[in-house]
Chains A and B, each alone.
Chain A
C-alpha cells in the first residue's frame, strides 16, 4: 500500500501516512473553509489500511490550530483508527496528542476526542 504524503499549506496540515511502518502523522494547521475535500484521501487511505494494518500503528497528531469543520473530519480519522484498534487490541494503536504547554484549549480538544472514542490517548506536552 502506498504512502500518503500531503504537503502542508497555510490552511492545511502536513500529512504523512506509511502503511509499512504504521506511522501516521498530521501536523500543522487545519483551518480550511471546507475540510471534507481535504480529509477525503486521508479517510479513504485509512479505510484501506484498516483491512490489513501494521502490527503497531503510531499516530502523531500535532496541530497548532484546527477549525470546527476540521474537528469533525479528525473525528472520522479517529473512528477509522478505532476499527484498527478493535482488530489489533490494546497495543495495536497508540495515539499521541501533542499540545503546547500553555495551550489548554488544545489539551481539552484531545480530551474531548478521548471521551468520545474507545482508543486511549497519550497527551504529550511540548515546551515552547
Chain B
C-alpha cells in the first residue's frame, strides 16, 4: 500500500509549530515562509544565536527542497503542480528546534541520496569542515544552480546527525522524510 502522506503530515504537524506547509513550493513562497519563520522566532523570544542558526538552516533546507525534490507522481502534479513538498518547523524544547520535511524522490535516486546522507552522518566536525571547503572551492555548480553544499553546510552548522526514511509510494517513487535537529 502506498505511504499515506496526509496521515504522516498530520502526525508530525503538532506541538509548538512555527510554520508548516503541505503543497506547492515556489521561490516566492520560500521568501514569505522565511519571513514567517523569522517572525515566529522573534515571537518566541529566542536569543539571536539560536535565531540565526535556525534561520540559516531553514534557508538551506527550503532551497534544497525547491532545487532537489524530484518531479512528483502525476496524481500529485495534478493537484499541486510540479514542485511539491511538505515540512514542519517546530520548537521541541529549550533551545531546540526540529525541521521535518517530506518530498518525492525517484526510485533510481534513492541510493545516491541515502549514500550521501550516510556519508555526512559519519563525518566528524573537522571532517565536515574539510569537505565543506573542498566543495566550496571546486568551481562547480550543479545543473540546478545549487552549489552541492547544502546538506554539508546544515550538518556543519547543527552538529547533529540527519534522521531519514524512504517510504515506498509507487513502483517508481519513494517519499523521502528528513529530520534536522537545530540546537545551541
Contact = CB atoms under 8 A, between A and B. Distances in A.
Interface size bucket, A side?
Answer: 20 to 34
Given A105-B53, A128-B48, A69 B146 contact: yes
Contacts of A67: 59-60, 63
Contacts of A112: 129, 132-133, 136
Most interface-central of B34, B49, B59, B67 (chain A CB within 10 A): B59
B127 to A, nearest CB: 14
A75 B137 contact: yes
B147 A105 contact: no
Q: Which of B27, B48, B52 has the largest count of A CB atoms less than 10 A from its CB?
A: B52
A128 B48 CA distance: 10
B132 A103 contact: no
Interface in B126-149: 129, 132-133, 136-137, 141, 145-147, 149
Contact of B150 (A31, A65, A68, A100): A68
B157 A69 contact: no
B56 A105 contact: yes
Given A105-B157, A116-B136, A36 B145 contact: yes
Contacts of B132: 112
A91 B170 CA distance: 62
B147 A69 contact: yes
Given A34-B145, A68-B149, A10 B31 contact: yes
Contacts, number: 65
A72 B56 contact: no
Interface of B: 27, 30-31, 34-35, 47-49, 52-53, 55-56, 59-60, 63, 66-67, 129, 132-133, 136-137, 141, 145-147, 149-150, 153, 157
22 contacts: A33-B63, A34-B145, A36-B145, A67-B59, A68-B60, A68-B153, A69-B141, A71-B149, A72-B147, A72-B149, A75-B137, A102-B47, A102-B49, A103-B48, A104-B49, A105-B53, A105-B56, A112-B129, A112-B133, A112-B136, A115-B133, A128-B48
